Amino acid sequence: MKTVALIAQKGGVGKTTLAIHLATAFAATGKNTLLLDLDPQASAAEWKDHRADETPAVLSIQPSRLTKVLEEAKSMGADVVILDTAPHSESTALEAAKAADLILVPCQPTIMDLRAMAKTVELLKLVGKTAFAVLNSVPHQGTGGQEAAETIASSFGLQVADPSFGDRVAFSRCMISGQAAQEVEPNGKAAAEVTALFDWVVAQLHTRTRAPAQRKKKGEAA
pLDDT in tens, 61-74: 999 999 999 999 99
Threshold 0.85, pTM exceeds:
yes
State the greatest distance between any 2 C-alpha atoms of the chain, in Å, as a whole number.
65
pLDDT digits (tens, 9 = 90+) for 87-117: 999 999 999 999 999 999 999 999 999 999 9
pLDDT digits (tens, 9 = 90+) for 43-63: 999 999 999 999 999 999 999
Tally of domains within the chain: 1
DSSP E strands in 108-210: the ranges are 131-135, 159-160
Sheet containing 2-6: which strands, arranged edge to edge? 57-60, 33-37, 80-84, 2-6, 102-107, 131-135, 159-160
Q: Taking the CB of residue 217, how many other CB atoms lie within 10 A of it?
A: 6
> Does residue 213 lie in a domain region?
no
> Does residue 28 lie in a domain region?
yes
> Does residue 217 lie in a domain region?
no
> Does residue 220 lie in a domain region?
no
> Does residue 218 lie in a domain region?
no
> Does residue 129 lie in a domain region?
yes
Domain extent, residue 86, equals 2-205
- Band (221; pLDDT cuts 50, 70, 90): very low
> Does residue 222 lie in a domain region?
no
Domain CATH for 127:
3.40.50.300
The terminus-to-terminus CA distance of the chain in angstroms comes to 30
Average pLDDT, stretch 141-145? 81
> Does residue 219 lie in a domain region?
no
pLDDT at residue 211 is higher than 60: no
